[in-house]
Amino acid sequence: MAITKYPRACSRNSAGNSKVFLTEISNITSVTYTSGEVSAITMNASTKFQEAGADIDSIQFTQEGAGGSSYGETQKIVMKASKKTAALIAFKNSIVDAAPCGLAVIRQDSNGNCFLSGWNSVDKNGRPYSKVEVAFDSGVAPTDEGMNSLTLTLSCMNGQDESPIDATLTASIVGETATFIDFN
């Protein structure tokens, strides 16, 4: 494979993510790629990606890769939710139950772009998020910042970067009209 050129972009860049959506990998029937971007996602009947109501400025995607003749990345999506409730416990338990079979994630970044991870174009549904880490800290005093919150971390090993979602599909996600997502 030849090295491709990459032009420098001179536009504002905002760090962080605004939303995250999750589904069990088995709910996805197909993902269509056009020019290296996801242009369609087809789901099994009556299944959808579910929006995770994470706290503002608590969603983080990281990837770390290494290799030589072969290459792999560890990808992680981290989110935090405040105030332990029955609904939060049920959400956490559903993620823990789904992890052994794998999860796919759509994240919406703070620049209005969307990306699909946990699925790749090479070995379809072969590298989903399958590891879950959970941390909860109640804090000690009512003034403890960032306490009484649950941090949920999903991770997977992948040989391919997350997939950018094309402008049309991104517009439907940002505009909350995508039919394959159950928005809050």
Range with lowest mean pLDDT among 46-50, 71-75, 153-157: 71-75
Residue 1 has pLDDT above 80, yes or no: no
pLDDT of 123: 62
Predicted TM-score of the model (pTM): 0.89
Q: What is the pLDDT of residue 32?
A: 94
Is the pLDDT reported for residue 172 higher than 80? yes
Q: Residue 160: its pLDDT value, please?
A: 82
Tokens of 93: 């338990």
- For 14-55, write each residue's pLDDT tens digit: 777 889 999 999 999 999 999 999 999 999 999 999 999 999
Residue position matching structure tokens 């962080």: 16
Q: Which residue has the higher pLDDT, 44 or 72?
A: 44
**Two tokens, residue 172:** 């439907």
Q: Tell me how far the alpha carbon of residue 71 is from its chain's centroid.
A: 21
Asked whether 29 and 47 are in contact (CB, 8 A), the reply is no
Is the distance from CB of 174 to CB of 112 less than 8 angstroms? Answer: yes
Give the count of alpha carbons within 13 A of 117, CB side only.
24
Query: HEC profile for the chain?
Result: CCCCCCCCCCCCCCCCEEEEEEEEHHHEEEEEEECCEEEEEEECCCCCEEECCCCCCCCEEEEEEEECCCEEEEEEEEEEEECCCHHHHHHHHHHHHHCCCCEEEEEEECCCCEEEECCCCCCCCCCCECEEEEEEECCCCCCCCCCCEEEEEEEEEECCCCEEECHHHHHHHHCCCCCCEECC
For residue 126, name the pLDDT band (cuts at 50, 70, 90): low
Contact assessment for residue 77 and residue 54, using Cβ atoms and an 8 Å cutoff: no
| Whether pLDDT at 125 is above 60 | no
